[in-house]
Structure formats: structure tokens, C-alpha cells
Amino acid sequence: MTRRLELLQLARQVKGFMPDDEGEALFSAAREAGERRPEGTWLEVGAYCGKSAIYLGAAAEETHCVFYSLDHHHGSEENQSGWEHHDTSLIDPADGRLNTLPTWQRSVADAGLENTVIGLVGPSVVIAQHFPVPLDLLFIDGGHGAEVAWADYHAWTPKVVSGGTLLIHDVFPNPADGGRPPYEIYCAARESGRFIDERAVGSLRVLRAV
Ligand code: SAH
Ligand code: MG
């Protein structure tokens, strides 16, 4: 089996909320971004257990990019106890909080991607304020509440270089399908005139910075 197939298969097995077809679209969009701009710097907001990190990491490895996978690893609102996407096996008994960092580390190690996928552990906006490197690719899939999603939009999208790629997950134009904030920041990205649509697969949107 080729290295690429091995990684795509591994990604499918990691816990998370990304359907296989959207994961593969994520890989393809990133692979094309890396071909256009090899040796680039990439970042995702929202790492969870490392599923999207393997899809993106596979593309980063092939194109010699470095990919930062950012999360505070304590879950979003919808991952907390009582919510739809809660997974009790991810609770740290020491403090009763969700902790996805050990699972994320295991995913990246199993994939053999430790030199390509670099973890950043902490609050998105604090890291953004101190993250000086322009981004060739940005994937926004962090908190989906209005405040958090807009904070991510304002903190990170200005760092995307012209010709770079912006990916946004969980974009649901129809409110019946899911929460609005990712859709709203997607609309804002287009309306800003800085990004144009490239592709849509499921709830994944691929945009290019003009
Ligand atoms: N991209 C992942 C899923 C991410 S789920 C995948 O497809 O596999 C959303 C993640 O965002 C959660 O793990 C949560 O901990 C993280 N998150 C939410 N708000 C955050 C914030 N303000 N700073 C850092 N991480 C945040
Ligand atoms: Mg998502």
C-alpha cells in the first residue's frame, strides 16, 4: 500500500466529526495548495483527536509543508457533558474535563507524522496574537459558537497570504442542518473580497485568497 493510502485509511479510523468524503476533499484541496506553494506553513484551528490533522498532514508531508494543529484540547461546547457530541472515554479522571491531547498525540504518532504535524496547545486567539508566520493554508474548524467562530475569523484569516487557501468546515447554508456561525464567517470571507470560492464538498468550503 502506498504511504498516501495508508494515511487516508488511518484518518478514517480516528475519532471525529468529518465524513470520509469531506476528509478526502480536505486532503485533495491541501495537496493542490501544497503543489502550488511547496514548503509552506499551514495551520488548523480545532484538532480534536487528530482526524483532520492526518488528512492535512498527509498532504503536507507530500508537499514538504509544516502543519500546525491547534487546540486547547478541552473540547467545544457541543463536546461537553450533556451535549450531542460528548464522548466519556475522553474524560481525564484527574479533573473530570475532556482531554483530547493524548488521543491526538497517538494519532499523529501512529501516522508517523511527528515531523510534519506540530501541535499547538492553547486558546486560539492567544496563539494567533503571537503567531508571526504568514499562512499558505488555514483550516477553521474550532468552536462553532458565534463569539468563538468570529474571533477565529478575525484572528487568523488576515494571516493567509495572497494565493493561499482557506478551508472552513461545518458550513450549513440551511439552518435546519446545523449552527450558523461557520456559515456566517464563510459569507464574510467571500464578502470581504479577499477570498473566492473554489469548491464545496458537504459542509467543507475551499476558498482561495486573491
Ligand atoms: N478538526 C477536527 C475537529 C475539531 S472539533 C477534525 O475534523 O478532526 C473542534 C475543536 O475545537 C475541539 O477539539 C475544541 O477543543 C477546539 N476549540 C474550540 N474552541 C477553541 C478555542 N477557543 N481555542 C482552541 N481550541 C478550541
Ligand atoms: Mg468540523
Q: Which phi and psi angles does 121 have, rounded to 5°?
A: -110, 110
Q: Are 65 and 35 in contact (CB under 8 A)?
A: no
Residue 124 CA: nearest ligand 1 atom is 23
Can you say whether the dihedral through the CA atoms of 162, 201, 147, 131 is positive or negative?
negative
pTM reported for the whole predicted model: 0.98
Q: Using CB atoms within 10 A of its CB, is residue 28 exposed (0-12), middle (13-18) or buried (19+)?
A: middle
Nearest to 89 by CA among 31, 49, 116: 49
Spatial distance between the Cα atoms of 42 and 23, rounded to a whole number of angstroms = 16
Closest ligand, as measured to the CA of 44: 1
Residues serving a catalytic function are 144
Q: Which residue's CA lies nearest to atom 25 of ligand 1?
A: 71
Whether the CB-CB separation of 63 and 38 falls below 8 Å is answered with yes
Q: What residue has cell string 480534536?
A: 48
Ligand 1 pocket residue status of 54, Cβ below 6 Å: no
The superfamily in CATH containing domain 3-78+104-209 is Vaccinia Virus protein VP39 (3.40.50.150)
pLDDT tens readout for residues 176-197: 998 999 999 999 999 999 999 9
**pLDDT tens, N- to C-terminus, the chain (210 residues):** 899 999 999 999 999 999 999 999 999 999 999 999 999 999 999 999 999 999 999 999 999 999 999 999 999 987 777 777 789 999 999 999 999 999 999 999 999 999 999 999 999 999 999 999 999 999 999 999 999 999 999 999 999 999 999 999 999 999 999 899 999 999 999 999 999 999 999 999 999 999
